[in-house]
Amino acid sequence: MLRKKFGGFIIAAAVLGTGGIDIGAAGPAVAEALRCDNSHPEVCVHIRGDSIFVDKFAAYYYSPPVGCLQAHFFYTLAGMSTATGVYHDVCPTPDKYSSHDGYYYDTTGTTGVFQAGTLACAEWIGKPGVACADIKR
């Protein structure tokens, strides 16, 4: 279990491997991981799946409220980028782990079957940082 403090927030997640989510490797049938940008740990993605099937892809932005924001989900494979998802306003959610007013959470990342080696990423419009997770067979 990884616990990381950012501002007044405590980010907790089970991290699998070092290169991304290792879906389909020996172990539990369903794997999930939280990946955060190294330079901007307030930007994270949460991905869950089995083999190359992703059933949850969400983006987090841990910050004191600054109004509503928009998440942008995108995927890359062999250097090609494909934008996905719908841009819509995401307003702060109450944070049960701290005394701050909230964090931003968007669950509209595309799910389904992806080619092994796909890099699933998210960023928040107007904020620095991109978080990505590898989808591996």
Instruction: Provide the residue range defining the domain that includes 69.
Output: 2-135
Q: What's the pTM value of the predicted model, to 2 decimals?
A: 0.71
Q: What is the pLDDT of residue 137?
A: 75
pLDDT per residue over 101-122, tens digit each? Answer: 668 889 888 889 988 888 889 9
pLDDT grade for 41, boundaries at 50, 70 and 90:
very high
Please state, in angstroms and rounded to a whole number, the distance separating the CA atoms of residues 44 and 8.
16
Tokens of 110: 């595309």
What is the count of structural domains for the chain? 1
**What's the pLDDT band for 62 if we cut at 50, 70, 90?**
confident
Residues 6 or more apart from 18 whose CB is under 8 A from it? Answer: none
Taken as a whole, the chain contains a residue count of 137
- We report the CATH number of the domain holding residue 84 as 2.60.40
Given pLDDT bands bounded at 50, 70 and 90, which one contains residue 40? very high
Angle at alpha carbon of residue 37, lines to 91 and 12, rounded to 5°: 70
Tell whether the model's pLDDT for residue 84 goes beyond 80. no
Using only the alpha carbons of the chain, give its radius of gyration.
Answer: 14
DSSP 35-55: EE-SS-TTEEEEEEEETTEEE
Give residue 132's pLDDT: 92
